[in-house]
Amino acid sequence: MADTARPAHAGVYLPPPLWYAVGLAVGLAIGRWRPLPMTAAGSPARTAAGVAGAVAFAALALGAVATFRRARTTVVPNRPAAALVTGGPYRLTRNPMYLGLAALYVAVAALANSWWPVVLLPLVVAVIDRRVIAREERYLAGAFPDEYAAYCARVRRWL
């Protein structure tokens, strides 16, 4: 007989921001070895893009964390969820924290004036999608079956 017990948590053991940090660090290291600048040094457009990415991060990720706190559930993916969070930025995307981290990643790449991290971003997002989001979605589907199915039907995974 198969074990149908609900898992205790999503089974994500490496902190998701670590994946973004590794991709960013590798991209910046490649950029030091083989520079691939976005613009000439001191470009106001590049600086504005960096600031815009940082603001997007703050709005999405920090808003998501605040929404989790109001729901009295954890943001740590290797702990059990006490509630399914669907308010705040979760009304617009099922993954505002990861979307916010991607915006911060691009902001840092812009401020560092290097295309290399941006080139590596699809790989980072693929890892997040498969090693983090897929596990979290399986867990939430088991933990909150009807609620999560309805939520997925009305809110997109990314945007």
Q: What is the pLDDT of residue 9?
A: 81
- Using left for φ > 0, alpha for ψ between -120 and 50, and beta otherwise, residue 76 falls in beta
**Which residue matches tokens 């994946």?**
19
1: confidence class by pLDDT, cuts 50, 70, 90: very low
Taking residues 144-151, what's their average pLDDT?
97
The rounded percent of the chain whose pLDDT value lies above 90 is 85
Q: What is the pLDDT of residues 37-77, one digit of tens each?
A: 998 877 899 999 999 999 999 999 999 999 999 999 999 88
Domain limits, the chain: 48-73+83-159
Contact present, 105 and 56 (Cβ < 8 Å): no
**Average per-residue pLDDT in the chain?**
93
5: confidence class by pLDDT, cuts 50, 70, 90: low
More confident: 3 or 71: 71
Taking residues 121-138, what's their average pLDDT?
96
Q: For residue 75, count other CB atoms closer than 10 A to its CB.
A: 15
- Angstrom distances, CA of residue 48 to CA of 35, 43, 44, 65: 21, 9, 6, 25
